[in-house]
Structure 1
């Protein structure tokens, strides 16, 4: 990592990507922000934030950043550079949204999770899900210092304790309390169709919402699909994430 803080690359210059870039810059990180187009056309995303944010190409951001945040429409995930992100810590902030992404089977399958699709596309990267469930306006407006009354929480999910600790530190630096949901597969508890999705709540409320997953729209659909799979005799119940207890540390 460069200096005392990692360099953060943001792939995606939409509302979420721009907000996260500003949050990172405000926290003292060097930030690279990129989309698929000419950096000159995306420089506006860095305006008003001083020199801490640099507009660049996706390839350059992927190569130079220590941590890369994916803030693109999920439907573009196959265009994310695989080799450039090998060995990198990648924060997946994307969600399936039918109005943008359509209805491909890989997104509509109730047993699929978007971050696991990203992990499969980036097999040599370390994937942590974060910043996907809070609206961009709340991310922009609700950041508060550690320990401040009413500080809001961000859920994170991943398979490596060290990577989770790193992303938890980033979340904290951005002005939010990190709540570890569990494994990357447990990140389904933060996706559309669950109580946390779109929520702007504190740590205790977020934990309670995560525990309500089995009764959420997404949890019910997932349970029905798992029951159908068992009834057909294919697979096993070992991948039933809705029956697992989250690690809410």
Structure 2
């Protein structure tokens, strides 16, 4: 599966590295253009390529948004992601460390509204990039990555990638209620949990 990643900051670059290490192909994009991704491409080798955001969306089997939430709206043509699996790994902040007030909605619900027909899954947003870089290869029990969404098959696809990376996929439920748990201010945000700890928390 070819994964598109829009956003090549610390977290997006880290995801690209561990995907390539796990045998996946990646297409990378950012707001600055493909030429800015040259050093990362050189590091990742032939499994990685670069494109503009629209090109990454077109070429990828699954697209991950790893950029500021405020940059997502209008980034791509609204209908360009219809029937595509779209992982919303963005986090909405209103200020440094302060969750944005989204009027009771989740960031992923807004993404789903901006890109109608996309199969949106909230995932890969709760873990610090330094933990993401090493935890999947660490000894001992796997750490959990969470999935929330209204499309069961899309969540299964994302869970498969999470497993490939050496983590445990834990379903937090629908896009609204599960997304609330995962986003900034929620109880699962930036809280590394083992699979057993995460399952115990979800079931309590």
TM-score, normalising length: structure 2: 0.91
| Structure 2 equivalent of residue 195 of structure 1 | 187
Q: Which protein has the bigger helix share? A: 1
Structure 2 gaps of 5+ residues are: none
Q: 2:129 aligns with which of 136, 146, 160?
A: 136
| Structure 2 equivalent of residue 98 of structure 1 | 94
Q: Which protein has the bigger strand share? A: 2
Tell me which of the two structures has the higher relative contact order, counting C-alpha pairs closer than 8 angstroms and 6 or more residues apart.
2
Alpha-carbon RMSD across the aligned residues, in angstroms, is 2.1
User: Counterparts of 2:172 and 2:117 in 1: how far apart (Å)?
Assistant: 23
User: Counterparts of 2:28 and 2:61 in 1: how far apart (Å)?
Assistant: 13
1:61 aligns with 2:56: yes
Q: Number of residue pairs matched?
A: 202
Structure 1 gaps of 5+ residues are: 1-5, 213-249
User: Counterparts of 2:74 and 2:39 in 1: how far apart (Å)?
Assistant: 23
Report the CA distance between 1:79 and its aligned residue. Answer: 2.5
1:33 aligns with 2:24: no
> 5 Å matches for 1:196-215?
196-210=188-202
> 5 Å matches for 1:1-249?
6-81=1-76, 82-99=78-95, 107-109=100-102, 111-144=104-137, 149-185=140-176, 186-210=178-202
Larger radius of gyration: 1
TM-score, normalising length: structure 1: 0.75
Q: Deviations over 1:108-155 (max 9, x none)?
A: 03511111011111112110011011111111111138xx62211101
